[in-house]
Structure 1
Amino acid sequence: MSHHPKIHPVHDPEASLAHPTAPLVPRTASRSEHGDPSKDPLTQRPQRFVPLAPPKKRRSCCCRCVCYTLCSLLLLIVVVGATIGILYLVFKPKLPDYSIDRLQLTRFTMNQDLSLSTSFNVTITAKNPNKKIGIYYEDGSKITVWYRETQLSNGSLPKFYQGHKNTTVIFVEMTGQTQDASGLRTTIEDQQQRTGNIPLRIRVNQPVRVKFGKLKLFEVRFSVRCGVLIDSLVTNNVIKIQSSSCKFRLRL
């Protein structure tokens, strides 16, 4: 009895090339039952997002001009402040002192049109207490006499220079005319009979230039407000001043 060799099937490696299997996902299909494998977070690489640099802002010419102007103003303020501080420390300025020494009524007449004409002569003493500061009294001053809210007369101070530690006596003539003053004279007379005095106010607005040593500064204005109590308003007589007080204010 002859023995035939047993033949066992051997896997052919080229069989898979000859008969390719069908893909699980058709080539024409974009999605499978479990989603799009191309968008699987496990297989997809993380993308890096690089932030874009913000655009550079360009300053306009107008903005630069505003900045330059503000810087110039700030520098000017600092320089002026430093200059004033140095002058104050060196010269030690003091405010002038003013007083009403004499007041005379030369006219107090009621006219036919019911207007009141008045004339005053006022003597003012101005004192400059500074040792190194002179005062130039310039043109354009105004001095007025008031009874309550009614202006009676007005005038102006003369132009002159007042030196260091100087006392100057100023004589001023003032005139005025008040319209529709029919009840004003009666009110003044009643005031005198009830209280024994008449309150007047004297106001001075004066442009001056201050001189520090040899340095003459720009023009400034000061105002003086004086409250005066007099005994009466009698024409051509020297009026007795019962009390007088003045306040000084500087205006740049």
Structure 2
Amino acid sequence: MSKDCGHHESKRKKLYKRIGVGILIFILIVALIILIIWAVLKPSKPSFTLQDATLYSFNLTSPVQLTTIFQVTVVARNPNDKIGIYYDRLLVYANYRNQQITVPTSTPPNYQDTNAVSIWSPFLQGQNVPVAPFIGAQINGELQSGGVYILIRLDGRVRWRVGSFISGPYHIHVTCPAFIPLGNPNVGISVEKNAIKYQLTQDCSVSV
């Protein structure tokens, strides 16, 4: 009786082993197919352009605090012919000299089809943001020179879509340099009371 039980147990172990090997082979085949498809399609990262910035407020007060309110227009293009892009989350904010000067603004989730263009126009603002004294001195110096250099950053996650296959999330980091010619009424366009729009059309660096 015990020999018979041992025989059946041995069969079960062999069966489980075969099932495990079969599942592993199936997973490897699927992974290989996805890898081959990925290599053939060669997905390209999206391109971003900072189109314009509408400035409502840019005030440096004492003690050294900065208040900024502006709206930016960011254009993203999907250069892929067969790959769509899911933008699950994008946080947009402004930096000056490696210091964040606005709170992050979240864009709504978006799917970008092949060769499609997406446009976001988030409002960015920072109320009485403390800045280091030397940062305040640099801002004053740039203002006297006719404008300030800031960076518009977008951080988030994207997923790639190929047919019905959707990849896992990838981090995306976008940096858009911008020169805002404050104090020069001949450069910007007045759009509202105390609001001036500056056309920038500045290409951004993108890493995924």
Q: Report the TM-score when normalising by structure 2.
A: 0.70
C-alpha distance in structure 2 between counterparts of 1:132 and 1:161, whole Å: 14
**Residue of structure 2 equivalent to 1:128:** 78
Alignment pair present for 1:143 and 2:95: no
Corresponding letter in the other structure for 1:239: Y
- Alpha-carbon deviation of 1:152? 1.4
Of 193, 197, 204, which aligns to 1:238?
A: 197
Alignment pair present for 1:188 and 2:188: no
Per-residue Cα deviation, 1:181-240 (whole angstroms, up to 9, x for no partner): 66645532321434x442111211111111111111111111112222222278521135
**Residue of structure 2 equivalent to 1:179:** 130
- Alpha-carbon deviation of 1:245? 3.3
- Alpha-carbon deviation of 1:117? 2.0
3-state secondary structure, aligned to 2:139 = helix
Contact map agreement 1:228 1:245 (CA 8 A) in 2: no
- Alpha-carbon deviation of 1:131? 1.4
Gaps of 5+ in 2: 1-26, 185-193
C-alpha distance in structure 2 between counterparts of 1:101 and 1:186, whole Å: 29
Corresponding letter in the other structure for 1:219: P
Per-residue Cα deviation, 1:128-148 (whole angstroms, up to 9, x for no partner): 111111111113x32221111
Query: Which protein shows a greater Rg?
Result: 1
C-alpha distance in structure 1 between counterparts of 2:43 and 2:134, whole Å: 47
Alignment pair present for 1:163 and 2:113: yes
- After superposition, the CA RMSD in angstroms is 3.0
Call closer, same or farther: CA 1:223–1:78 in 2, change over 3 Å.
farther
Call closer, same or farther: CA 1:94–1:180 in 2, change over 3 Å.
closer
Larger strand percent:
2
C-alpha distance in structure 2 between counterparts of 1:87 and 1:157, whole Å: 28
**Residue of structure 2 equivalent to 1:118:** 68
Shift >6 Å, 4+ stretches: 76-79
Contact map agreement 1:118 1:176 (CA 8 A) in 2: yes
C-alpha distance in structure 2 between counterparts of 1:77 and 1:187, whole Å: 57
Q: Report the TM-score when normalising by structure 1.
A: 0.59
Corresponding letter in the other structure for 2:202: S
Alignment pair present for 1:202 and 2:161: no
- Alpha-carbon deviation of 1:115? 2.8
Corresponding letter in the other structure for 2:169: E
3-state secondary structure, aligned to 1:131 = coil
Corresponding letter in the other structure for 1:148: R
Of 150, 166, 191, which aligns to 1:216?
A: 166
Gaps of 5+ in 1: 1-75
Greater relative contact order structure (CA < 8 Å, 6+ sep): 2
Q: Which moved more, 1:203-212 or 1:150-159?
A: 150-159
Corresponding letter in the other structure for 2:206: F
Call closer, same or farther: CA 1:230–1:240 in 2, change over 3 Å.
farther
Contact map agreement 2:97 2:135 (CA 8 A) in 1: no
C-alpha distance in structure 2 between counterparts of 1:81 and 1:147, whole Å: 45
Alignment of 1:41-80 (within 5 A): 80=31
C-alpha distance in structure 2 between counterparts of 1:160 and 1:180, whole Å: 34
